[in-house]
Each structure stands twice: as C-alpha cells, then as structure tokens.
Amino acid sequence: MSGIRLFAQRVPNVPLVGLFETAFYQWIPEAATRYGVPNAWHQAGVRRWGYHGASHKFIAERSAELLGREDVAERARRLYQDHGATPVREPALRVISCHLGGSSSITGIRNGVAVGNSLGLSPQSGLPHNNRVGDLDAMAVPFLLRSQGLSLEEIEKQLCREGGLKGVSGVSNDIRDIQTAADQGNPRARLALDFFVHETRRWIGAYLAQLNGTDALVFTAGIGENRAETRAAICAELDQLGVVLDPERNTATRAQEAIISPPGAKVTVMVIPTNEELVVAREVKRFLEHPPA
C-alpha cells in the first residue's frame, strides 16, 4: 500500500493498475474455496483465495505452448478478458505447477484454468515457506495463547517470520544454507529438507486426485528451477502415477526451460523459469487499452 501511495504522489499522471495474485483462482470449484467454518465467516472472507496467480498463469500459458497445445495456451493468455470461455479441443490438458521458492505453492490447472492452489486465506498457508509457517491446525493458536503465555502479536510474528524452513531447521531461511548444514550432519536441517519434500508431495497428490492424473508436472521459482536434488526427491517413487525423472536431464538443468522426464514418459516433467512480470505487463496493457466501462 505504501508503494502504491508513493507512486501516486511521485508520478500522479501515470495510471496505477492492480493485478491481484488471487485473480487466477476466480473459476476454481466452490468446494475448493471452502473451509469448514460458519457461513458468516466465509462471507467475511475466511476462505481459500490462492496466490502466486501471475506465476501459475505464466506456467499455464508456457507449459501448453511447450506441449504443443496452442489452443490451451491461447485460453490461458486470454483468460481474464474471455473469463475462461476461449474454446479448446479434447482431450483436456492437465498440468500441476509447483512454484517452489522463498514462498511456495502448488496449483492444479485444467485446460489453462486453475482448479485450486495450496495457498488459502493468506500466503502463510499451504507448503512451508522460507520463514513462514504453511499449513497449521488453527487450534494451535488458542493452545499457544493459553498454555505458553504468548501474546497474539508474538504468535503472529513467529508464524510469519520464524516458521517454515527457518523454524524447522533452526539454521536459515535459505534452502542452500540448510542443504550445507544437512550435508555436515545437522539433523534438523535434514528434517527441514525432508519436511519440504513431504509437504510438496502431499499437495501434488491433492491435484493428481482432483485432475484424475496429470499430463505435465512443472517446477518453477528459485528452488524449483535451480535445485535438481529437491526435484529428484519430490519425484521419487511416483512411477506408479506416471512420474519418472531422467536423472541426467534433471541434473543438467538449471534455471532454463527443459523436459527432465525420459522420452515417452506418461507425465512430462518440466522446468520452466517463471515470468510473473510478463503476465503483469500484458494484463496492464490490456486493461489500459480496454478499460472496463
């Protein structure tokens, strides 16, 4: 909000356009938006919103292009102006997009349209993040309030700054430092890496079920693009579900577009560097050229 205010002051004649990270999830099934809370809470906004929308939208577009489904890529590119209505042909293209970085989320995508995202009400949910908590039983908060004498402000601060990979490892919020510590025999660092892989697989499983399998599994963002060992651990023993890595292709791939599954594999496993800026720039251009009436 400060950034927006400062831009408005410094460059008052330049239009400011907001593209919300939640926009990509406006067509997810209603059941995927719900928490088991009273309806009044849901109406007040306590629901799954989903974030990282610009990144996962880019993956929806680019993965379809790379898989030769220009019809699906076109739907993904035109999603916001056409409200998901651009026609595509059968069979459906199913993609699971893993944005693994300082902040991590997983999205299931059918024919260019998201069916859900692991981030919920806030971007503190879903997978563990570098120093943010990820999924947590809501009753942990009243438990800590009553039994540990922590204030709500202190709990909130620790959930948002002292959680995730940093909290579990006790080493760092950067997975590279955690890997170094694990290699030196630090058991908490090892656990943090295992925990990250476990949670990532749990969410991949959720979208494998929701999509009835997948045609592609895509890795993106700082960890997903750069860390072959994390990709290998996530994809281990998923062959019954069609997910197999080519170890040489996987190890050779760093921050570039590549297919890292063997030729003919049931699921195409890919690395695609994300490009959130491109999605934002395109949508801003479209908005300014065709402002709503």
Q: Is residue 176 at the binding interface for ligand AMP, with CB under 6 A as the rule? A: yes
Q: Is 112 in the site for ligand AMP (CB under 6 A)?
A: no
| Residue for token pair 């170890």 | 247
Q: 194 and 169 in contact (C-beta within 8 Å)?
A: no
Among 56, 62, 69, 227, binds ligand AMP (CB under 6 A): 227
> Does the protein bind ligand AMP through residue 221 (CB under 6 A)?
yes
Give least dist CB 293 to ligand AMP, A: 37
Using an 8 Å Cβ cutoff, are 96 and 216 in contact?
Answer: yes
The residue among 202, 248, 204 whose CA lies nearest residue 228 is 248
Distance CA 72, CA 92 (A): 9
CB of 103 to ligand AMP, least distance (A): 6
Using the rule CB under 6 A, is 253 a contact of ligand AMP?
no
- The CA distance from 121 to 104, in Å, is 15
Q: Whose Cβ is closer to ligand AMP: residue 120's or residue 224's?
A: 224
| Closer of 28 and 245 to ligand AMP (Cβ) | 245
Of 115 and 218, nearer to ligand AMP (C-beta) is 218
Q: Candidates 42-50, 145-153, 190-198, 220-228 — which segment interacts with ligand AMP by CB under 6 A?
A: 220-228
Size of the site for ligand AMP (CB under 6 A): 12
Among 84, 102, 205, 273, binds ligand AMP (CB under 6 A): 102
Q: Give the whole-angstrom CA distance, residue 92 versus residue 111.
A: 6
**Residue nearer to ligand AMP on the CB measure, 76 or 192:** 192
Q: Name residues whose C-beta falls within 8 Å of residue 264's C-beta, 6 or more positions apart in sequence.
A: none
| CB closer to ligand AMP out of 215 and 225 | 225
In whole angstroms, how close is the CB of 53 to ligand AMP at the nearest point? 15
- Does 88 participate in binding ligand AMP (rule CB under 6 A)? no
Structure tokens at 29: 């099934």
> Contact region for ligand AMP (CB under 6 A) — 37-45, 65-73, 131-139, 215-223?
215-223
Range in contact with ligand AMP (rule: CB under 6 A) among 11-19, 96-104, 110-118, 232-240: 96-104
174 lies in the binding site for ligand AMP (CB under 6 A): yes
Query: What is the number of other CB atoms lying within 10 angstroms of the CB of residue 283?
Result: 18
Minimum distance from residue 50 beta carbon to ligand AMP (Å): 17
Position 222 contacts ligand AMP (CB under 6 A): yes
Q: If binding is defined by CB under 6 A, does position 50 make contact with ligand AMP?
A: no
Residue 101, interface with ligand AMP (CB under 6 A)?
yes
Binding of residue 123 to ligand AMP (CB under 6 A): no
Residues of the shown chain interacting with ligand AMP in the complex, contacts defined by CB under 6 A: 101-103, 130, 174-176, 221-223, 226-227
